[in-house]
Structure 1
Amino acid sequence: MAHHNPPDAVMPVRAATFPDGPDSVLLNPDIPQARWRGERVRAGLRPRTVLTGLAGVALAVLAAASGSGFGAVFALGAGILAVGVSLFAGWYSAARMLTDHRHGPGSPCRLDRVRGEFFFRSRDFTDLGPASYAVRTLIAGVGELHRSPARTWIDPGVPREVHRVVWQALCCLDRTRAARVLVDELAADPDSVVGQLAVAARKAVLVMDDALDEVVQHVHGCVVLTRAWEAKLRHTELTTRTDHILAALPGHAEVRRLTEAAEALPQNVFAYITAARDITEAGAFPWEQPPSSWSRLLRILPRGLSRGTSSSRALARRGRSGEGQS
């Protein structure tokens, strides 16, 4: 089984920042790459950025045409700086087009104007109750599948199909908003006929919720399988690495030869040292000298003291026993 190298594409799940805080988004799989490139160009060519660049170019041209002098040099430097700043600002805006949607109160984000046109946010479904948890689970599952190392072993079309199925599920869920509002309105009406309509509408909504739960289970199954394969890959990598490292260790025979060689070293040194001592008549080493009489006395004295102490103790016991008998 060969593994595939998926082409570099836009990751379908992104962590983005919005005016109301950070959130995760699921990109629309039906938008081609050419349109995304066009949106990046549009994001980089904002009016303020373009005007700053044009002003810098005009200032630099006027400074170059005015001749030499401090004013001309200063104007030329300012123009070049303005052009550089505008280029950097355009590149920065284009690079953060999908991750930063904070554009100020007067300029709302173009990509976030219509819900579901370019992406869905996980917070787009917070008003749908328990379904919002399923949405977050699906978005997280798509992101994990596309980031997983196991993706290189899967047909590239499988993660894309998971992305498309999840997107369709979110689109269907988004279309149930009006039905959910209708269910709440009908449930509040005391009329029995209207109550029957509320039951029918609620059943229709429950069908979609049940289908969404099934999609969540199937996507979770895909995630579990990729996690299991990741664990296998990790185990194989660790096994290969361990075998390679252990193979580089010295063998038992080499270690035994090393210890035997080290064991012979003190004997050789002792032979040379004792020979040098004999030649120079330096005398015996401390461990070769016989113990002195004083050291023998110190060793014998504690024994005598202990014997004398034991004898005096025995005599004292005998004296006490004799007094008791008398």
Structure 2
Amino acid sequence: MTQHNSADVVMPVRAATFPDGPDSMLLNPDITESQWRGERVRAGLRPRIVLTGLAGSALVVLAVVAGAAVVALGVGILAASASVFAGCYHAARVLTDHRHPPDRPCRLDRAPGAFFFRSRDFTDLGTAGHAVRALIAGVDELHRSPARAWIDPGVPREVHQVVWQVLCCLDRTRAARSLAGDLAADPDSEVGELAAAAREAVEVIDDALDEVVRHVHGCLVLTRAWEAKLRHGELATRTERTLADLPSPSEVRWLSEAAEALPQSVFAYITAARDITGAGAFPWEQPPSSWSRLRRILLRGLSRGASSGRALARRTRSGEGLS
């Protein structure tokens, strides 16, 4: 088993900003990278940007040919540069910035479900909305996992494809859910049977959704376990390398033995200097003073007196108890 190079894998889950706030979206797996490049080119070549660039370029050409003022030349260069910058900016953010006016949505937002699904697209479906968020997060984690390099590249793509198909099926249940709600509100018994049939059809899809969530979670459990193995191996290698850089026990022992002889050498020189200069004995070489001896005697006497007082008090209390 070998590692696979996953550097060229397109991330199927993107974080984007919408008018209602940030959200995650799952890209359509059937749209190729060349098609996404085409969408980026379209976003960068908006009519206003193109017209601004053409006007700026024309102004630059006229200013150069006619020898016009430097101001006209500068304005033309500025307009052309601004159009290029705006085109690159919109092309780079075509997938991540969807904060458009409601009356002027971008091409990707005009066809919901054609290019991507948002996690909030299914919040009105109750518990199914929670399952959708779990699936999108699972696809994202699987594609970002270090364990992906050890998996066949087709497996993450297949997970992406299956989850996308599940979201498409779930999106198609909106009419059936609405119909089931309308039929359930009708008092007619025959209509109630139709409502039960509609609910049952929707429940079959919801059960399949739960199964997909369970299987995707199983994939994540396996990749997380392998990530833990990889992390443990990295830590073991790092620990071994770090410990190998430490000094050996024999070297440390030699340092300890070398340091042990240092105080003796210093002591020999210091005592020799004391003897030569006649500086007298050091404090630790002097005998205890009479005051120190008296102080120790007093402390011992006080401690004995305190012990005798405590013993007498105990005997007195015991005598009172007997009486």
Q: Fold-level match, TM-score > 0.5?
A: yes
Q: Quote the Cα distance in structure 2 between the aligned partners of 1:208 and 1:303.
A: 93
Give the secondary-structure state (helix, strand or coil) at the position aligned to 1:22: strand
Q: Does the CA contact (< 8 Å) of 1:102 and 1:109 recur in 2?
A: no
Once the two structures are superposed, residues 60-112 of structure 1 have per-residue CA deviations (whole angstroms, 9 ceiling, x without a partner) of: 222223337xxx22222222222222212111111111110112344212101
Q: Which residue of 101, 111, 115 maps to 1:114?
A: 111
Q: TM-score, normalised by structure 2?
A: 0.86
Single out whichever of 155-164 and 132-141 deviates more from structure 2.
Answer: 132-141
Q: What is the distance in 1 between the residues matched to 2:133 and 2:79?
A: 43
Deviations 1:202-260 (A, max 9, x none): 21111111111111111111111111111111111111111111121112211111011
Deviations 1:164-205 (A, max 9, x none): 000111111111112112211221222222222222222111
1:266-292 per-residue CA deviation (whole Å, 9 max, x = no partner) reads 2223334444555x545445348755x
Q: Supply the AA of the counterpart residue of 2:223.
A: T
1:181 equivalent in structure 2: 178
CA distance in 2, matches of 1:87, 1:133: 42
3-state DSSP of counterpart to 2:108: coil
User: What secondary structure does 2:113 align onto?
Assistant: coil
Match of 2:74 in 1: 77
**Deviation per residue, 1:140-178 (Å, 9 max, x gap):** 111111111111010000000000000111111111112
Alignment of 1:299 onto 2:292: yes
Is 1:262 the equivalent of 2:259?
yes
User: 1:1-326 counterparts in 2 under 5 A?
Assistant: 1-67=1-67, 72-276=69-273, 281-287=277-283, 290-291=286-287, 296-302=289-295
**What is the aligned-residue RMSD (CA, Å)?**
2.4
Match of 2:83, SS state, is helix
Change (3 A) 1:183 1:301: closer
Q: Partner residue of 2:321?
A: none
Q: Which runs of 5+ in 1 are unaligned?
A: 311-326
Q: Secondary structure at the match of 1:228?
A: helix
Residues 1:308 and 1:233: Cα distance change in structure 2 (over 3 Å): closer
Greater Cα shift, 242-251 or 142-151: 242-251
How far did residue 304 of structure 1 move?
Answer: 7.4
Q: How far apart in 2 are the matches of 1:8 and 1:182? A: 44
Query: What secondary structure, in the 3-state scheme, does the structure 1 residue paired with 2:98 have?
Result: coil
Three-state SS of the structure 2 residue aligned to 1:111 is: helix
Compared CA separation, residues 81 and 309, structure 1 to 2 (3 A): closer
Amino acid in structure 2 at the alignment position of 1:17: T
Matched-pair identity in %? 72
Residue 309 of structure 2 corresponds to which residue in structure 1? none
- Per mean C-alpha deviation after superposition, the further-off stretch among 102-111 and 114-123 is 102-111
Choose 244-253 or 149-158, whichever is displaced more.
Answer: 244-253
* Aligned-partner Cα distance in 2 for 1:3–1:78: 54
Cα distance in structure 1, aligned partners of 2:190 and 2:244:
81
Whether contact under 8 Å (1:46, 1:90) holds in the other structure is yes
The Cα of 1:308 is off from its aligned counterpart by 10
- Bigger mean CA deviation after superposition, 186-195 or 159-168: 186-195
Query: Which one is further off, 158-167 or 181-190?
Result: 181-190
Unpaired segments ≥5 residues, structure 2: 304-323
Distance 1:3 1:73 in 2: 60
What SS does the corresponding residue of 1:2 show, helix, strand or coil? coil
- Structure 2: how far apart are the matches of 1:97 and 1:6? 24
Q: Which has the larger radius of gyration?
A: 1
